[in-house]
Protein backbone atom coordinates (compact mmCIF):
# COMPACT_ATOMS: atom_id res chain seq x y z
CA UNK A 1 0.00 0.00 0.00
CA UNK A 2 1.31 3.43 -0.93
CA UNK A 3 1.27 6.42 1.38
CA UNK A 4 0.54 9.74 -0.29
CA UNK A 5 1.77 13.03 1.15
CA UNK A 6 -1.12 15.33 2.03
CA UNK A 7 0.51 18.38 3.58
CA UNK A 8 2.98 19.56 6.19
CA UNK A 9 1.85 19.16 9.76
CA UNK A 10 2.65 22.85 10.25
CA UNK A 11 -0.03 23.77 7.68
CA UNK A 12 -2.73 22.42 9.99
CA UNK A 13 -4.26 24.65 12.61
CA UNK A 14 -5.97 22.60 15.31
CA UNK A 15 -9.62 21.98 14.46
CA UNK A 16 -9.47 23.82 11.15
CA UNK A 17 -10.02 21.61 8.09
CA UNK A 18 -7.56 21.85 5.22
CA UNK A 19 -8.66 20.83 1.74
CA UNK A 20 -6.01 18.90 -0.19
CA UNK A 21 -6.66 18.26 -3.86
CA UNK A 22 -4.93 15.22 -5.28
CA UNK A 23 -5.27 13.62 -8.68
CA UNK A 24 -7.43 10.79 -7.42
CA UNK A 25 -9.39 12.37 -4.60
CA UNK A 26 -9.99 15.52 -2.55
CA UNK A 27 -9.24 15.11 1.13
CA UNK A 28 -10.23 17.13 4.18
CA UNK A 29 -7.41 16.99 6.72
CA UNK A 30 -8.04 17.89 10.34
CA UNK A 31 -5.61 18.03 13.23
CA UNK A 32 -7.02 17.54 16.69
CA UNK A 33 -4.40 17.55 19.42
CA UNK A 34 -1.70 15.11 18.36
CA UNK A 35 -3.97 13.28 15.95
CA UNK A 36 -4.54 13.93 12.26
CA UNK A 37 -7.70 12.78 10.54
CA UNK A 38 -8.36 12.57 6.83
CA UNK A 39 -11.73 12.06 5.18
CA UNK A 40 -12.85 12.36 1.61
CA UNK A 41 -13.76 16.01 1.13
CA UNK A 42 -17.18 15.25 -0.28
CA UNK A 43 -20.29 15.24 1.88
CA UNK A 44 -22.27 12.06 1.29
CA UNK A 45 -25.50 14.07 1.25
CA UNK A 46 -25.05 16.39 -1.72
CA UNK A 47 -21.34 16.42 -2.53
CA UNK A 48 -20.43 19.67 -0.77
CA UNK A 49 -16.81 19.99 0.47
CA UNK A 50 -16.70 19.02 4.15
CA UNK A 51 -13.60 21.18 4.57
CA UNK A 52 -15.88 24.23 4.43
CA UNK A 53 -17.48 23.12 7.66
CA UNK A 54 -16.65 23.36 11.33
CA UNK A 55 -15.03 20.81 13.61
CA UNK A 56 -16.06 20.10 17.17
CA UNK A 57 -15.25 17.09 19.34
CA UNK A 58 -13.92 14.93 16.51
CA UNK A 59 -16.98 15.71 14.42
CA UNK A 60 -17.09 17.69 11.21
CA UNK A 61 -20.28 19.48 10.28
CA UNK A 62 -21.16 20.09 6.66
CA UNK A 63 -21.59 23.80 6.02
CA UNK A 64 -24.37 23.28 3.47
CA UNK A 65 -27.13 21.42 5.33
CA UNK A 66 -25.53 20.59 8.67
CA UNK A 67 -24.83 16.86 8.39
CA UNK A 68 -22.30 15.71 10.94
CA UNK A 69 -19.67 13.02 10.55
CA UNK A 70 -17.36 11.34 13.03
CA UNK A 71 -13.82 12.04 11.78
CA UNK A 72 -12.57 8.72 13.20
CA UNK A 73 -15.02 6.53 11.34
CA UNK A 74 -16.64 8.69 8.67
CA UNK A 75 -20.04 7.64 9.98
CA UNK A 76 -22.85 10.17 9.92
CA UNK A 77 -23.85 11.33 13.40
CA UNK A 78 -26.36 13.93 12.35
CA UNK A 79 -28.84 14.26 9.46
CA UNK A 80 -29.59 14.70 6.65
CA UNK A 81 -26.68 12.50 5.51
CA UNK A 82 -27.19 8.81 6.15
CA UNK A 83 -24.19 7.35 4.35
CA UNK A 84 -20.59 7.40 5.63
CA UNK A 85 -17.73 9.27 4.02
CA UNK A 86 -14.47 7.40 3.37
CA UNK A 87 -11.76 7.89 5.97
CA UNK A 88 -8.06 7.41 5.41
CA UNK A 89 -5.39 6.31 7.87
CA UNK A 90 -2.75 8.97 8.38
CA UNK A 91 0.83 8.97 9.57
CA UNK A 92 3.17 11.85 10.32
CA UNK A 93 6.78 11.41 9.23
CA UNK A 94 9.35 14.15 9.63
CA UNK A 95 6.70 16.83 9.86
CA UNK A 96 4.71 15.70 6.82
CA UNK A 97 1.29 14.08 6.86
CA UNK A 98 0.72 10.99 4.74
CA UNK A 99 -2.43 8.99 4.07
CA UNK A 100 -3.19 5.53 2.80
CA UNK A 101 -5.58 6.48 0.03
CA UNK A 102 -6.17 3.15 -1.65
CA UNK A 103 -7.94 1.47 1.22
Which residues of the shown chain bind ligand FES in the complex (CB under 6 A)?
43, 45-46, 48, 62, 64-67, 80-81
> Least distance (Å) from ligand FES to the CB of residue 81?
5
Task: Write down the least CB distance from residue 52 to ligand FES, Å.
Answer: 9
- The DSSP result for the chain, as a single string, is --EEEEEEGGGPPTT--EEEE-SS-EEEEEEETTEEEEEESS-TTT---GGGSEEETTEEE-TTT--EEETTT--EEESS--S---EE-EEEETTEEEEE---
Nearer to ligand FES, 15 or 80 (CB): 80
- Taking the complex as a whole, the smallest distance from the CB of residue 20 to ligand FES amounts, in Å, to 19
Amino acid sequence: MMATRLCALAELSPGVPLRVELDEVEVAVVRIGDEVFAVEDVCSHADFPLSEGEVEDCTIECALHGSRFDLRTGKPTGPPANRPVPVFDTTVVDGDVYAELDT
